[in-house]
């Protein structure tokens, strides 16, 4: 799709708007301390494909696509879940998104094609009691185990002390047996409540699944 006939229609929302109310399963969500973005399902909007392989090419293509849009009072955004395989890097400009910046300004951003009208905006808040506890230990499976992970950390520290490495990023997985199908919106609601200062994010991977995650580490700089 070309962007020459498309524009971004921006509508201000109040500073108390809950970004999670604008998120739909299959969409995109990224928030910390109330700042971030929520987007409609990524099957809508349009795809940004880099001219060549590599992250820099994708960044240039995304910047060009966003500049080509006729923007309103707020800048458009592109979102995506970027894999390690640089040959499959893409991003998308969502058909609808809500973003809140450091200045607490909150904007509803609609991608409008030609003379199309804007669909009605009906945010759906997640309501109910906030969870007070994380998943119980019996529901969790460590990959690798705590002992194996601790040994890996020790090995990394020794190699750094020997000047073989300058920086090491170690990660492990906690698999959760929830015993039921999980609603991504309620899972995000729970992650955000249990760890309110973490980065909470979800990305709809087209035709695969939605991944919802909470991370205490810095993800954007």
The model's pLDDT over 154-167, given as tens digits with 9 standing for 90+, comes to: 988 888 887 777 78
Same structural domain for residues 70 and 150? no
Q: What is the chain's Cα-based Rg?
A: 20
Place of tokens 């970004």: 19
**Distance between CA atoms of residues 48 and 55, nearest Å:** 12
Same structural domain for residues 190 and 162? no
pLDDT 10s digits, 62-114 = 999 998 887 777 888 998 877 766 667 788 899 999 999 877 789 999 988 87
Same structural domain for residues 108 and 36? yes
| 3-state class (DSSP) for residue 86 | helix
Same structural domain for residues 84 and 144? no
Domain ranges, residue 150: 137-174
Same structural domain for residues 36 and 83? yes
User: Encoding tokens for residue 68?
Assistant: 């080509």
Same structural domain for residues 170 and 186? no
Same structural domain for residues 211 and 145? no
What pTM, to 2 d.p., does this model score? Answer: 0.73
Is 166 a member of any domain? yes
Is 205 a member of any domain? yes
Same structural domain for residues 110 and 70? yes
Same structural domain for residues 155 and 68? no
Same structural domain for residues 90 and 146? no
Same structural domain for residues 33 and 141? no
pLDDT 10s digits, 106-131 = 999 998 887 777 778 888 888 766 55
Q: Under a CB-based contact definition with an 8 Å cutoff, are residues 11 and 173 in contact?
A: no
* 185 class by beta-carbon count within 10 Å (0-12 exposed, 13-18 middle, 19+ buried): buried
Is 45 a member of any domain? yes
Residues paired with residue 202 on neighbouring β-strands, in sequence order = 29, 212
Is 129 a member of any domain? no
The answer to whether the peptide bond before residue 144 is cis (omega within 30 degrees of 0) is yes
Same structural domain for residues 61 and 107? yes
User: Encoding tokens for residue 149?
Assistant: 């992970």
pLDDT 10s digits, 2-41 = 455 788 888 999 888 999 999 988 889 999 988 999 998 8
Is 126 a member of any domain? no
> Phi/psi zone of residue 45: left (φ > 0), alpha (ψ -120 to 50 degrees), beta?
left
* Domains contained in the chain, number: 2
Is 120 a member of any domain? no
Q: How many CB atoms lie within 10 A of CB 45?
A: 21
């Amino acid at each position: 799709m070309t962007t020459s006939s498309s524009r971004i229609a921006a509508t201000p929302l109040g500073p108390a708007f809950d970004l999670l109310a604008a998120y739909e399963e299959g969409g995109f969500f990224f928030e910390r301390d109330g700042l971030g973005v929520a987007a409609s399902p990524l099957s809508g909007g349009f795809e940004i494909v880099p001219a060549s392989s590599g992250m820099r090419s994708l960044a240039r293509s995304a910047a060009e696509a966003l500049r080509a849009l006729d923007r309103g009072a707020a800048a458009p955004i592109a979102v995506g879940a970027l894999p390690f395989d640089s040959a499959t890097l893409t991003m998308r400009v969502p058909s609808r998104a809500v973003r809140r910046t450091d200045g607490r300004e909150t904007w509803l951003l609609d991608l409008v094609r030609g003379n199309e009208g804007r669909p009605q905006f009906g945010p759906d808040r997640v309501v109910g009691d906030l969870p007070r506890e994380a998943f119980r230990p019996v529901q969790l499976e460590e990959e690798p185990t705590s002992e194996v992970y601790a040994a890996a950390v020790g090995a990394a520290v020794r190699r750094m002390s020997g000047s073989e490495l300058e920086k090491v990023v170690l990660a492990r997985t906690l698999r959760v047996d929830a015993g039921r199908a999980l609603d991504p919106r309620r899972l995000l609601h729970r992650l955000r409540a249990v760890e309110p200062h973490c980065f909470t994010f979800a990305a709809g991977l087209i035709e695969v699944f939605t991944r919802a995650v909470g991370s205490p580490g810095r993800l954007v700089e």
